[in-house]
Amino acid sequence: MEDFLNVLLHGTEAFSGFIWTYIVIGMLFSCGIYMSFKTGFVQFKRLGTAIKFVALGAKKEDSKRAEGDITPFQALMTALAATVGNGNIAGVATAIIAGGPGAPLWMWLTALFGMSTKYAEGLLGLKYRQKLADGTYTGGAMYYLQEISNKKVGRFFAIWFALALMFMATFGSGNMAQSNSIALALNSDFGVDFSVTGILLFVLLSLILIGGVKRIAVVAEKLVPAMIVLYMGAGLTIILMNLPLIPEVFSIVIESAFNPQAAGGGFVGLTIREALRYGVARGTLSNESGIGSCSMPAAAAKGNEAAAQGLVAMMGTFIDTILVCTMTTFVILSSGVSLDGTLDSVALTKTAFGNNLGASGGTIISICSAVFGFTTLIGWAYFGEQGFRYLYKNLNVNIYRGIFCVFAGIGTILQGKYLGIVWNFGDIANALLAIPNIIGLFMLGNVVKNVTQDYFKRFDSGEMKNPFGY
């Protein structure tokens, strides 16, 4: 068994490295650039408007009579529930260890261009959503992929995407890796047995998922803002404590992105390829721009203006990477923690916080890791459910919900180096989601352009009573 696991570990790592180094990185960057031009660089020109829309989308009283299941703000929080997770805590640390201090620069660039990609995904998600017999809405990349001009190709890509979505949500880093992180955090700081955490997660997830997207959105709406404020508050405190070091840290990031060995120490032998690969891969794992996940909660959002929901959706990438991941980067690189590879993942981030805030710093990371992991679980449970609905329209969705909860419980008892198999599966699944999604976005680029131009022509003229079309 151990020999098989070793082969699986090295095999998935090699395949992940190949698909990210030679295929997906170029696709993500080219799609981000393409959508930036198609949308008139909406991520820069309309960032202020997007921030305002997030606040407007939180007003439930304005959306009571609108078509849809959840408010635009709840849609954003549901998307963020899946994206702001242990990728922000563990993923950034892993990117720095594996790719050097320059890896975060590639995370930032991926995010800046990825914001336009995320905008397009949110827009198309709402535009091509479908109303079910029970009055609720479903949608996502599967539905806009099947709308590309060649219907047979579109249907093939839609099925591909739905299968990859279920794989990521059930076996990849959207499930077992998160539950494992939760179990480790609760055990290391609070002494909670791994099996107890597994049972608790199974029960809590079952109670939430049975309520569908509305209950998921309510939970996400409360947990996500609270956890971001707690994490960023602690991170900002450390940055202010180390403020004189920040210019030097920024300089190290920039220089190391193009010369990883410049940092010395544990980074000897690293190349720009590693910095680029791990920066883009971990950035995408964190903010999910390009893999189409945000299109699913966007499809359930109230309102009829696809471009407005696109603006709200793109704020997910801004919050996740430009704010939260940057916070983690500066804390780690200014804390004096060793980067020789002895510490990695959550342990590295936890030590960095602890070096500045003492024992309370480590406790904060444990709490955030547990809550981040839990919200990621409920977010990806919803995503996997949409893939199941698309592929198996006549089956009860509770079948998938039960399977998801079982694997979440199994994830809590995984230990040792073989957990890397799950993270590798996550990277591979992200790539398999990105490939058909990005191809579809290229084919639907003119749709995004036309909807965007029409919307902002009406919005800028002041003729719209409500920007979401309530």
Please tell me the predicted confidence (pLDDT) of residue 305.
96
Q: Is 293 exposed, middle or buried (0-12, 13-18, 19+ CB in 10 A)?
A: buried
Please give the DSSP secondary-structure letter assigned to residue 68. S
DSSP element (H, E) containing 255: helix 246-258
CA dihedral defined by 51, 57, 61, 66, rounded to 10 degrees?
A: 150
Best-predicted range by mean pLDDT among 79-83, 120-124, 248-252? 120-124
Please give the DSSP secondary-structure letter assigned to residue 262. G
Please list, in sequence order, all residues whose beta carbon lies within 8 angstroms of the beta carbon of residue 257, skipping any fewer than 6 positions away.
102, 103, 105, 106, 272, 275, 279
Q: Which residue carries 């509770």 as its tokens? A: 398
Q: Would you list the DSSP string of 18-60? A: HHIIIIIHHHHHHHHHHHHHHTTSHHHHTHHHHHHHHHHTT-G
Please list, in sequence order, all residues whose beta carbon lies within 8 angstroms of the beta carbon of residue 462, skipping any fewer than 6 positions away.
none
Indicate the pairing of strand 130-131 with strand 137-138: antiparallel
Q: Which residue has the higher pLDDT, 59 or 140?
A: 140
Q: Which residue carries 């078509």 as its tokens? A: 67
Residue 298 has pLDDT above 70, yes or no: yes
Please tell me the predicted confidence (pLDDT) of residue 36.
97
Please give the DSSP secondary-structure letter assigned to residue 175. T
Cα–Cα dist 123/312, whole Å: 9
Please tell me the predicted confidence (pLDDT) of residue 177.
80
Which CATH number among 3.40.50.300, 1.10.150.120, 2.30.140.10, 1.20.1740.10 corresponds to the domain 2-461?
1.20.1740.10
Residue among 129, 122, 124, 136 nearest 79 (CA) = 122
pLDDT tens digits, one per residue of 347-364 = 889 899 999 999 889 899
pLDDT tens digits, one per residue of 201-219 = 999 999 999 999 899 999 9
| Angle, CA 280 vertex, CA 293 and CA 327 arms, to 5° | 90
Cα–Cα dist 254/216, whole Å: 39
Please give the DSSP secondary-structure letter assigned to residue 129. -
Please give the DSSP secondary-structure letter assigned to residue 101. T
301 beta partners? 70
138 beta partners? 130
User: What is the maximum span of the chain, computed from C-alpha positions, in angstroms?
Assistant: 67
pTM of the model: 0.92
Instruction: Look up residue 269 and give its two tokens.
Output: 């032998």
Cα–Cα dist 60/72, whole Å: 9
pLDDT tens digits, one per residue of 255-267 = 888 875 544 444 4
Please tell me the predicted confidence (pLDDT) of residue 454.
97
Residue 64 has pLDDT above 90, yes or no: no
Residue among 373, 340, 371, 333 nearest 355 (CA) = 333
Please tell me the predicted confidence (pLDDT) of residue 261.
57
Amino acid at 258: F
Residue among 367, 50, 412, 377 nearest 228 (CA) = 367
